[in-house]
């Protein structure tokens, strides 16, 4: 079967917020821009922070210098899905961000994400990928969101260099969730209070791998009101 290709998502907090609301996240959970990785700029990000989304360029310098430890044996305790659809990294990152925070984000049972999690919770990462390939509901919601951006959406056939990953706090560990890998990438211990700064330090390591590259974008999934 030919490889599936989706239209890439724009790295835009308005677009991604509408996307997660369409999936069933409550209105008080939103994506916001992270304007810098210094402590004073991180203080501007609303709390609590459930996940950090990073869009970064897949240059040779970045790909040839991996950081962190891949932990495929942790996929029973951390919800991990492989990426088998070209250009679907934005949706994969969102699934990782939401599914691993299901205890604090109360999804609308009448919308689709609750059903997606229920049907895939006991699957392997590869089985989840196969499920997503056939899931017209997720595909349609992704496509609708991909057309919402402020810039022209690339076609599904275009080769897109930037790649989305999510950072989460799960069981006291900071994990990078990249569907191209074999499992969660362990970046060490963290806490709810230090998660944002700990994740920002890892993002800084990403940037140092290719200091001439400027095309990085960081967003946080936050709860904006009680």
**What tokens appear for 189 in the block?**
């211990």
Kindly list the distances between the CA atom of residue 80 and the CA atoms of 170, 210, 215, in Å, as whole numbers in the listed order. Answer: 12, 27, 26
Which residue in the list 96, 142, 163, 187 is annotated as catalytic? 163
Q: Is 58 a catalytic residue?
A: no
Contacts of 109 (CB under 8 A, 6+ apart): 24
> What are φ and ψ of residue 216, in 5° steps?
-115, 145
Report how far residue 141's alpha carbon sits from residue 161's, in angstroms, rounded to the nearest whole number. 23
Which class for 171: exposed (0-12), middle (13-18), buried (19 or more C-beta within 10 A)?
A: exposed
What's the first-to-final CA gap in the chain, in angstroms?
47
Which residue in the list 89, 96, 142, 187 is annotated as catalytic? 89
Instruction: Give the number of other CB atoms < 10 A from CB of residue 49.
Output: 22
The residues annotated as belonging to the active site are: 89, 163
């Amino acid at each position: 079967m030919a490889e599936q290709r989706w239209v890439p998502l724009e790295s835009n907090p308005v677009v991604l917020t509408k996307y997660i609301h369409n999936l069933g996240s409550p209105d008080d959970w939103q994506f916001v821009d992270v304007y810098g990785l210094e402590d004073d700029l991180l203080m501007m990000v609303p709390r609590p922070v459930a996940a950090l989304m990073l869009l970064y360029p897949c240059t040779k310098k970045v790909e040839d210098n991996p950081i962190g430890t891949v932990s495929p044996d942790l996929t029973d305790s951390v919800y991990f899905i492989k990426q088998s659809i070209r250009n679907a990294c934005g949706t994969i990152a969102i699934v990782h961000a939401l599914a691993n925070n299901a205890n604090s984000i109360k999804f609308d049972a009448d919308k689709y994400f609750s059903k997606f999690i229920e049907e895939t919770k006991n699957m392997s990462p590869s089985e989840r990928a196969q499920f997503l390939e056939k899931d017209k509901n997720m595909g349609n919601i992704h496509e609708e969101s991909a057309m919402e951006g402020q810039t022209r959406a690339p076609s599904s056939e275009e080769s897109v260099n930037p790649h989305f990953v999510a950072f989460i706090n799960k069981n006291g560990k900071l994990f990078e969730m990249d569907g191209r890998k074999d499992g969660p990438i362990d970046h060490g211990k963290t806490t709810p209070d230090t998660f944002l700064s700990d994740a920002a330090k890892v993002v800084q390591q990403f940037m140092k791998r290719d200091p001439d590259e400027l095309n990085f974008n960081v967003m946080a999934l936050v709860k904006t009101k009680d």
